Amino acid sequence: MQPKEEKTFILIKPDGVRKGLIGEIIKRFEQRDLKVVAMEMFHASRKEMDNHYPKEDKWVRRLGEKTMATYAKYGHDVKKDFGTSDLMRVGKTVRGWLLDFMSSAPLVKVVVQGVHAVDMVRKIVGPTMPYLAEMGTIRGDFSNDSPLNANVERRSVFNLVHASETPEEAKHEIAHWFGKKSPIYKYKRFGVDE
């Protein structure tokens, strides 16, 4: 595979769609010379979202760890909100909130292609927690959500966009959301491919 054929997967989350940010979000990938090669609006079922997010213990535990770290940082009692301090159980609860949120309104699925597409898109999107994301990133410019707030409200962090974290994750997610019915396109982009 040529470096500029690297692809990554993006989902504009319900908050991104409902804030009217579809165009703004896609613009930021395009302006960084990434090429949109597939795109569609759809409403995901909870089951589809369940197959999208990894189910492995390792991923669920990491989600639990992230949540517990926020509780420790702000001196809050994880047992009070979650009824447990078990990493897997906390992770499973947060994963459940994520499935509920992601199936609550339409999403836009996008595949973009370009050199270092996976890392470049993560950089443009910004880190997971909007309140920590730098201005200039999508999450830093359009949201101020924090897990402190989200966990108390028993919902996932609203951070506008999902983007694959590794080329392996991108491969799995592109295969999951784009099949024969939703093709990936090939075309030459001015200034990039010629």
The answer to whether 124 touches 137, Cβ cutoff 8 Å, is yes
The closest alpha carbon to 80, from 152, 16, 140, 164, belongs to 152
Contact between 165 and ligand IDP by CB under 6 A: the answer reads yes
Kindly tell me which residue out of 8, 137, 143, 151 binds ligand IDP, with binding defined by CB under 6 A. Answer: 151
- Of 76, 116, 162, 176, the active-site residue reads 162
Q: How many residues does the chain have?
A: 194
| Annotated catalytic residue 176 | no
CB of 6 or CB of 173, closer to Mg ion: 173
Residues 18-57 that bind ligand IDP (CB under 6 A): none
The residues, any chain, with a CB within 8 Å of residue 67's CB and separated by 6 or more, are 78, 90, 91, 94, 147, 151
Dihedral angle over CA of 80, 14, 8, 24, nearest 10:
-120
66 interacts with, out of ligand IDP, Mg ion, none, CB within 5 to 8 A per kind: ligand IDP
The answer to whether 144 touches 4, Cβ cutoff 8 Å, is no
How many chain residues bind Mg ion (CB under 5 A)?
A: 1
Residues 130-189 that bind Mg ion (CB under 5 A): 165
Applying CB under 6 A, the span of 31-39, 105-113, 130-138, 148-156 interacting with ligand IDP comes to: 148-156
Residue 3 φ/ψ, nearest 5 degrees: -50, -40
Q: Is the dihedral of CA 67, 70, 72, 75 positive or negative?
A: negative
CB of 4 or CB of 96, closer to Mg ion: 96
The closest alpha carbon to 39, from 53, 55, 56, 25, belongs to 25
Kindly tell me which residue out of 25, 111, 133, 150 binds ligand IDP, with binding defined by CB under 6 A. Answer: 150
151 interacts with, out of ligand IDP, Mg ion, none, CB within 5 to 8 A per kind: ligand IDP
Which residue numbers are catalytic?
Answer: 162
Query: Binding residues for ligand IDP, per CB under 6 A?
Result: 63, 66-67, 70, 94, 98, 128, 147, 150-151, 156-157, 159, 162, 165
